[in-house]
């Protein structure tokens, strides 16, 4: 129930207005968001790289309402991608199709994605097309597959374990050799399409993780095992040891500001780790989804407000 309330608030305009205009809340949100500017994100990525952690950087924003707005979002990505090699950073980028105009005009979105992927390809940077709520799943996977067929092999995707359909999507994508980030999912979904119980989501995640690692061992894709759940991380490590999956064939992925101690532990133990670094002025929906994922995040946020 608490998670559902937070996910509702992530879309509530009145709450967004209240929080985003509260300077104290903006500062505390910096635990999960690198900042509002490109320079803020670059500083965070440089620090992560210095710790042996790679990054994927996301310009926060979604659901643009016109072609000009979508074009500005694409241009911001082009500028960011050019700066990554200039700053000698080890980072990919992550994008949301709705930020690039998917709801405005699929053709506008497609042209924006082509431009981003072409620019990224010139710098040997991969682009992850993030998954949004279940109403976008087919359109997102269709565009990903279409772009790959056009030759954009630096495009990769995301699958959410809480969706029932992922049991079919993961084997199909793995057989196609696509690089996939596997996450649990952070949107409010109906029980008709997604597991309502955390235990079932976790069990599905473990099954799909093993499918992806089996495929990687056979040369099919480079999985990103994206979770902060210590039990699932330990299960992944055990499976890697049991089946002798080479550690260069996959990576763990985590969010900026979440379980930094566990991130450091994975690096010390010799695993690859990539951290998702979001930045931008449209940070409110992202923050609320992070709070909904884990009650400890809510306590951190509230207690930080009172301490300050």
pLDDT confidence bin for 31, thresholds 50/70/90: confident
Segment 185-211 mean pLDDT: 95
Is the model's pLDDT at 8 over the cut of 50? Answer: no
138 labelled catalytic: no
State pLDDT tens for residues 54-86: 999 999 987 899 999 999 999 999 999 999 999
Long-range contacts of 18-24 (CB under 8 A, 24+ apart): 19/284, 19/287, 20/283, 20/284, 24/305, 24/308
| Catalytic-role residue among 58, 103, 126, 130 | 130
Residue 298 belongs to a domain: no
Segment 39-55 mean pLDDT: 97
Average pLDDT, the chain: 88
Residue 308 belongs to a domain: no
Residue 289 belongs to a domain: no
Give how far the C-alpha of residue 11 lies from the chain's centroid of Cα atoms, to the nearest Å.
19
Segment 96-110 mean pLDDT: 97
| Catalytic-role residue among 26, 126, 148, 181 | 181
Residue 296 belongs to a domain: no
Is the model's pLDDT at 166 over the cut of 70? Answer: yes
Greater model confidence, 272 or 284: 272
Is the model's pLDDT at 285 over the cut of 70? Answer: no
Instruction: For the full predicted model, state whether its pTM sits above 0.95.
Output: no
Residue 302 belongs to a domain: no
Range of the domain at 151: 34-282
Residue 171 belongs to a domain: yes
Q: Tell me, letter by letter, the H, E, C secondary structure of 6-38.
A: HHHHCCCHHHHHHHHCCHHHHHHHHHCCCCCCH
Segment 190-218 mean pLDDT: 97
> Tokens 């082009």 identify what position?
78
Segment 205-231 mean pLDDT: 96
| Contact status, residue 174 vs residue 167, Cβ threshold 8 Å | no
Residue 7 belongs to a domain: no
181 labelled catalytic: yes
Q: For position 32, what pLDDT does the model report?
A: 84
Q: For position 308, what pLDDT does the model report?
A: 45
State pLDDT tens for residues 125-164: 999 999 999 999 999 999 999 999 999 999 999 999 999 9
What CATH number should be reported for the domain holding residue 270? 3.20.20.220
Residue 96 belongs to a domain: yes
Name the domain count of the chain: 1
């Amino acid at each position: 129930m608490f998670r559902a309330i937070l996910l509702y608030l992530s879309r509530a305009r009145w709450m967004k207005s209240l929080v985003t205009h509260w300077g104290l809340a903006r500062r505390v949100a910096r635990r999960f968001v690198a900042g509002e500017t490109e320079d803020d994100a670059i500083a965070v990525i440089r620090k992560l790289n210095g710790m042996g952690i790679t990054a994927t950087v996301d310009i926060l924003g979604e659901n643009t309402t016109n072609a000009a707005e979508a074009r500005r979002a694409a241009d911001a990505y082009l500028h960011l991608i050019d700066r990554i090699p200039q700053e000698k950073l080890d980072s990919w980028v992550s994008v949301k199709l709705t930020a690039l105009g998917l709801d405005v005009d699929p053709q506008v979105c497609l042209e924006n994605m082509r431009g981003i992927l072409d620019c990224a390809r010139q710098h040997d940077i991969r682009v992850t097309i993030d998954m949004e709520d279940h109403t976008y799943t087919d359109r997102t996977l269709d565009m990903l597959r279409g772009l790959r067929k056009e030759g954009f092999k630096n495009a990769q995707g995301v699958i959410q374990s809480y969706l029932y359909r992922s049991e079919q999507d993961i084997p199909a994508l793995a057989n196609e050799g696509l690089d996939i980030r596997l996450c649990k999912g952070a949107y409010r979904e109906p029980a008709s399409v997604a597991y309502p119980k955390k235990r079932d989501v976790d069990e599905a995640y473990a099954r799909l993780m093993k499918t992806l690692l089996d495929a990687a061992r056979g040369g099919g894709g480079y999985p990103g095992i994206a979770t902060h759940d210590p039990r699932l991380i330990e299960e992944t490590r055990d499976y890697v040891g049991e089946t002798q999956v080479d550690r260069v064939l996959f990576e763990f992925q985590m969010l900026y500001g979440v379980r930094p101690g566990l991130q450091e532990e994975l690096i010390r133990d010799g695993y690859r780790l990539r951290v998702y670094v979001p930045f931008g002025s449209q940070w409110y929906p992202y923050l609320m989804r992070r709070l909904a994922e884990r009650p400890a995040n809510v306590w951190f946020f509230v207690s930080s407000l009172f301490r300050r």
